[in-house]
Structure 1
Amino acid sequence: MVPERLKEHLGRTYGISEPVIQQIWDDLLAYHQQSPEEYIRHRHLELQDQGLKNDQIYHILRKEMRQRLFPGPELTVRQVRRIIYG
């Protein structure tokens, strides 16, 4: 449930409805509740769909993991590869 004050602020500031605010809130929570492994697997597929090669992707994922709101552990390229491929 979206905190009432935040809901009011977003509605006033951006003119969006309560259902839209709730949907945004749910999406944000789902994004930030992903485990590092879930995030890496999901993001790997997104980056592949953009045409990037694994060597590029591994370094992007390592950087993104350090920049997350709740960063995961510092991972090596090998650890990233193992998360993706087992």
Structure 2
Amino acid sequence: MDNQEKRFQDLISNKPRFFQFMNERYPVFKNSNIFLRDIQFAIRTYFERKNVVLSYSQSEELMERLTSAMENEKELVKLSNNAWKVNFNL
């Protein structure tokens, strides 16, 4: 398993923790809108707190994979190419 896959698995297995972390800077609550760049920058900051520096493209890939997985689980509802509706409670 490469490092990027480990990071993705970290996000998936720690979704509540990640979204609590994200909620410190961006409002995240059921039925709120959440935006692509907010998720991407939250991912970068989340991993920086773990002393892992991600490139723009690495954080973008993780954001795409996370949002896709959460769409499949109906936790996010896609509104546009850069926005989702939150369909879960923190």
Normalising by the smaller structure, the TM-score range is: 0.3 to 0.5
* Structure with the higher fraction of residues in strand conformation: 2
Q: TM-score, normalised by structure 1?
A: 0.36
Normalised by the length of structure 2, the TM-score is: 0.35
Bigger relative CO (Cα 8 Å, ≥ 6 apart): 2
Q: Based on CA coordinates, which of the two structures has the bigger radius of gyration? A: 1
